Structure 1
Amino acid sequence: MEWFNVGRIVNTHGIRGELRILSTTDFEEERFAVGSKLAAFKKDDKKPTWVTISSSRRHKNFILVTFEGMENINLVEPFKEGLLKVSMDQLAEDELEDNEYYHFEIKDCEVFSEEGELIGVVTDILETGANDVWEVKAQNGKKHYIPYIEDIVKDINVDEKKIIIHVMEGLLE
Structure 2
Amino acid sequence: MENLLRVGVITSAHGVRGEVKVFPTTDDNSRFKTLKHVLMDTGKEKIPLEIEHVKFFKNMVILKFKGFDNKNDVEMWRQRDLLITRDQAVELAPDENFIADLIGLTAVTDEGVVLGTLTDVLQTGANDVYCVKMENGKELLLPAIKDCILNVDLEKQEMLVHVLDGLLDL
> TM-score per shorter chain, which class?
0.7 to 0.9
Shift of the 144–78 alpha-carbon distance from structure 1 to 2, 3 Å rule, reads: closer
- Distance in 1, Cα, partners of 2:15 & 2:122: 34
Which residue is equivalent to 1:140? 136
Cα offset, 1:122, TM superposition: 0.9
Counting only pairs closer than 5 Å after superposition, residues 63-82 of structure 1 correspond to structure 2 as 63-82=61-80
Deviates further, 48-57 or 134-143: 48-57
Question: Could you tell me whether the CA contact under 8 Å between 1:35 and 1:54 is conserved in 2?
Answer: no
Which residue is equivalent to 2:111? 115
Structure 1: 5+ residue stretches without partners: none
Query: Is residue 15 of structure 2 the alignment partner of residue 14 of structure 1?
Result: yes
- Distance in 1, Cα, partners of 2:19 & 2:153: 42
Which residue is equivalent to 1:50? 48
Q: Which stretches of structure 1, 4 residues or longer, exceed 4 Å deviation after superposition?
A: none
Cα offset, 1:29, TM superposition: 1.9
Question: Could you tell me whether the CA contact under 8 Å between 2:127 and 2:145 is conserved in 1?
Answer: yes
Structure 2: 5+ residue stretches without partners: none
Amino acid of the residue matched to residue 66 of structure 2? E
TM-score (norm: length of structure 2): 0.86
Deviates further, 139-148 or 79-88: 79-88
Count of aligned positions: 168
Aligned pair partner of 2:59 in 58, 61, 74: 61
Cα offset, 1:81, TM superposition: 4.1
**CA RMSD, aligned part only?**
2.2
- Distance in 2, Cα, partners of 1:78 & 1:106: 31
